[in-house]
Structure 1
């Protein structure tokens, strides 16, 4: 059994890489991921990437922040320490709006930062890992899991036909910067 975990096809041109993706998909070769030095519009649809659920997470963090501060302010101003200021009622809704708005934004911002770190595994202090170091500079890389049923020679042939400049067989999961 081979110790190869990923087969990497390096391309010079994004159009050639998109053609390579099409050829691999026509031959039912599952693509693990694609790494590019710049955004390529429409590649998510071509790879079948699902729509992000980050909006739902942001909404939940905002609701949590609004609920927390509304509860704290309500408890403080209505139950714990009610004050009669100019005959106004203790539970005056306009007084609660600025605090609630600010804490909604605060919880959403911090919650989204934590969600980003959790989802991408890019915690502070952790060395970033990439498949090929040139994917951050000038190469477009298609990573294919070598554990599939397709023979490695067929995948290599398809990548060469698509215009791959270089084809690598990675034995490790990632190449580290260290």
Structure 2
């Protein structure tokens, strides 16, 4: 089946890769995926990917953290077991709020950081014991791989990728490549 074939174009420089992505997108080819050993600034924009909404979730997780901190401190220090610490009576939460600010800050950061890591792993479908989907181990070291679907245009696409500076071009059956 022709639709399951992809071309793997390998590059050795991130600037050449960026230029190649722009050229391939200008020729109206769909790039399935790009594997890089480190984040390449502007690559998501060059590929035409939608902006991430992870920052919104970070804000929401921070709001959950500060809410938990406020409710927790109000219950523990004001309602359940009020104590006179350093001559400051615990009559209301607002009177003692300046002393609670560090705890509120720390729990906001704690919730945002931990829940963002979990969200990132779930969104990326990276869970424990999952096999790697990396088609070429060199992309974890110093190579960049662009994966493009083939639709009866192998020769023209191969020539285009050679012109963009690809050091290696492989046509792979994606069904067999799935580890």
Aligned position for 1:73: 73
Query: How far, CA to CA, are the matches of 1:109 and 1:15 in structure 2?
Result: 32
Query: How far, CA to CA, are the matches of 2:116 and 2:169 in structure 1?
Result: 37
Aligned position for 2:7: 7
Q: Does the CA contact (< 8 Å) of 2:82 and 2:90 recur in 1?
A: no
In the superposition, relative to structure 1, how do residues 22 and 82 fare at CA in structure 2: closer, same or farther (>3 Å)? closer
Q: Which runs of 5+ in 2 are unaligned?
A: none
Give yes or no for the alignment of 1:108 onto 2:112: yes
In the superposition, relative to structure 1, how do residues 127 and 84 fare at CA in structure 2: closer, same or farther (>3 Å)? same
TM-score by length of 1: 0.79
The alignment covers a number of residue pairs equal to 174
Compute the RMSD of aligned alpha carbons: 2.6
Q: Which stretch shows the higher mean deviation, 160-169 or 110-119?
A: 160-169
State the 1:3 CA deviation.
6.0
In the superposition, relative to structure 1, how do residues 78 and 29 fare at CA in structure 2: closer, same or farther (>3 Å)? same
- Whose helix proportion is higher, 1 or 2? 2
Query: How far, CA to CA, are the matches of 2:174 and 2:14 in structure 1?
Result: 25
Pairing partner for 2:130 from 126, 137, 148: 126
Q: Which runs of 5+ in 1 are unaligned?
A: none
